[in-house]
A = this chain, B = another copy of it.
Amino acid sequence: MESNYVWMNTKRIETLVDGIFAIAMTLLVLNFEIPQFTGVITNAVIWNALVELWPKMFTYGLSFILLAIFWRVNHQQFYLIKKSDTPLLWINIFWLMFVALVPFSTSLIGEYGEFEISELFFQINFLLIGILFNLNWRYAASRGLLDKSVNQKKIERIKRINLALPIAAVIAIILVFIIPEYSSLAYLSTYFLKKFFKASI
């Protein structure tokens, strides 16, 4: 059966990607548990419980936005990738495996974000996501799976811009050992990294 599918179109991959991202992004909310109280419940008690949820809400927002960025980058790549083959499919499946893991790493830092080991787990998760989507583009380019309108210069340009996200993840991993709870601020650097890589060509 393989042989008939060496060059399949990419629609089937995109459907799975859209589904898994939508679910992973919505599952993040399961992170928040409704507080349970023993003793008298008042507005102040609930307010305190909500305030204590704040770090979890921050990580919710962070992961939601990071996932949205990766979802968008995938769509941008597949706008230019016109054909697919078996290895490309597998790169995307492994990529999705780490995407679907994000709700777990997110609850880990929501619960134990002050410990380096949790932040490390979270940042490595996103580093792997970042590496695999780079691999996606590089593989597609090397096998001629791209739209014919994409010239070599554009391929190189996108290669460099795509590095912004894994580089930010590496910075985040370094920051874990300095300011663990704020290591994710590293992702703000992608804005400047992208500018830099665009200018460098």
CB-CB < 8 A to A171: which residues of B?
A: none
Within the complex, the shortest CB–CB distance from A138 to chain B, in Å, comes to 14
Number of interface residues of A (CB under 8 A): 63
CB-CB < 8 A to A121: which residues of B?
A: 50
* Residue of B with least CB distance to A53: B104
Contact of A19 with B22 at beta-carbon distance under 8 Å, contacts A72-B89, A112-B46 already known? yes
From the candidates B27, B75, B118, name the one contacting A29 in the complex (CB within 8 A).
Answer: B27
CB 8 Å contact bits of A16-29 with B (1 = contact, 0 = none): 10111111111111
Does A93 count as interface, using CB distance less than 8 angstroms?
yes
Copies assembled = 4
B18 touches A117 (CB 8 A): no
B29 touches A103 (CB 8 A): yes
Contact of A71 with B16 at beta-carbon distance under 8 Å, contacts A46-B115, A97-B64 already known? yes
B157 touches A28 (CB 8 A): no
Query: Residues on A close to B: CB < 8 A?
Result: 1-2, 4-5, 8, 12, 15-16, 18-30, 32, 34, 41-43, 46-47, 50, 60-61, 64-65, 68, 71-73, 75-76, 79, 89, 93, 96-97, 100-101, 103-104, 107-108, 111-112, 115-118, 121, 157-158, 161-162, 194, 198
